[in-house]
Structure 1
Amino acid sequence: MSAFTLQLPALLQTGHATISASYDAGEPYAITFGFDVVQPGLEWAISRELLADALVYGTAGVGEVKVTARGDLVVLGLSNPNGTGAIVLRRDDVDTLVARAHQLVAPGTEWQHLDWSDTTEFPGVAL
């Protein structure tokens, strides 16, 4: 198995909901959160390293994404020119998510899982 999706209980500004969290070894640096409950097709990709750092250090990220882990909770603060939002998740769920992603692709080996033959993915790179 090179990909997985978890359904996570979350607290959004609109109330309690279930969101999806997906990881694919073909995109080894990111975990994608799906917010269909807010808007169908709405997704936000967050660095798995950013999530892992927040679990260890309590906070990580600046700008559009800031992750804060305190006690039993993790808060994803997201912003873009259209607005801001916060998602509250259980720390155990985020820890499980990051651990499973690390089982599929060990930290430091992400580059080995990229398809370097697809030059449309990396414009200007000739192989």
Structure 2
Amino acid sequence: MSAFTLQLPALLGDGHATISASYDASEPYAITFGFDAVQPGLEWAISRELLSDALIYGAAGVGEVKVTARGDLVVLGLSNPDGTGAVVLRRDDVAALVAKTHQMVRPGCESRFLDWSDTAEFPGVAL
């Protein structure tokens, strides 16, 4: 298995909803959260290291994405020029999600899973 999607219960500004969390080993650094309950097609890619750091240290991130883990909850603070929002998740769900990604791609081994054959995506890089 090189990819998976989980459905997670969440508390959003409008109340309870289910969001998706997807991970693909070909994009090993990011977990993509889908917020169809808010707006169809709305997605945020969040660093799995950022989520992991927040679980360990209590908070991580600056700028557009801030993650705070306190007690049984994890809060994703998201912002962009169009607005801001917060998503509250169960800490156990986030920990299980991050652990599952680490089983697929161990931390520090991400570059082994990247496809470097298309250098057009990486200007200035020659193989």
Same fold (TM over 0.5): yes
Q: Aligned equivalents of 1:8 and 1:121: distance in 2?
A: 32
Q: Aligned equivalents of 2:86 and 2:106: distance in 1?
A: 29
Q: How many residues align?
A: 127
Q: Superposition RMSD on alpha carbons, in Å?
A: 0.6
Question: Which position in structure 2 is the counterpart of 1:42?
Answer: 42
> What amino acid does structure 2 have at the position aligned with 1:90?
R
Question: Which position in structure 2 is the counterpart of 1:75?
Answer: 75
Q: Quote the sequence identity (%).
A: 84
Q: Runs of 4 or more off by more than 4 Å in structure 1?
A: none
TM-score normalised to structure 2 length: 0.98
Q: Aligned equivalents of 1:92 and 1:42: distance in 2?
A: 24
Q: Aligned equivalents of 1:121 and 1:38: distance in 2?
A: 31
SS, match of residue 96 in structure 1:
helix
Question: Which position in structure 2 is the counterpart of 1:122?
Answer: 122
Question: Which position in structure 1 is the counterpart of 2:55?
Answer: 55
Question: Which position in structure 2 is the counterpart of 1:16?
Answer: 16
**What is the deviation of 1:120?**
2.5
SS, match of residue 120 in structure 1:
helix
**What is the deviation of 1:121?**
2.2
- Deviation per residue, 1:20-60 (Å, 9 max, x gap): 00000000000000001111110000000000000000000
Question: Which position in structure 2 is the counterpart of 1:102?
Answer: 102
Task: Specify every segment of 5 or more residues in structure 2 that has no aligned partner in the other structure, as ranges.
Answer: none
**What is the deviation of 1:118?**
1.2
Confirm whether residue 113 of structure 1 aligns to residue 113 of structure 2.
yes
Q: Aligned equivalents of 1:42 and 1:65: distance in 2?
A: 15
- Deviation per residue, 1:81-101 (Å, 9 max, x gap): 110000000000000000000
After TM superposition, list the pairs within 5 Å mapping 1:21-36 onto structure 2. 21-36=21-36
Q: Aligned equivalents of 1:117 and 1:18: distance in 2?
A: 37
**What is the deviation of 1:75?**
0.1
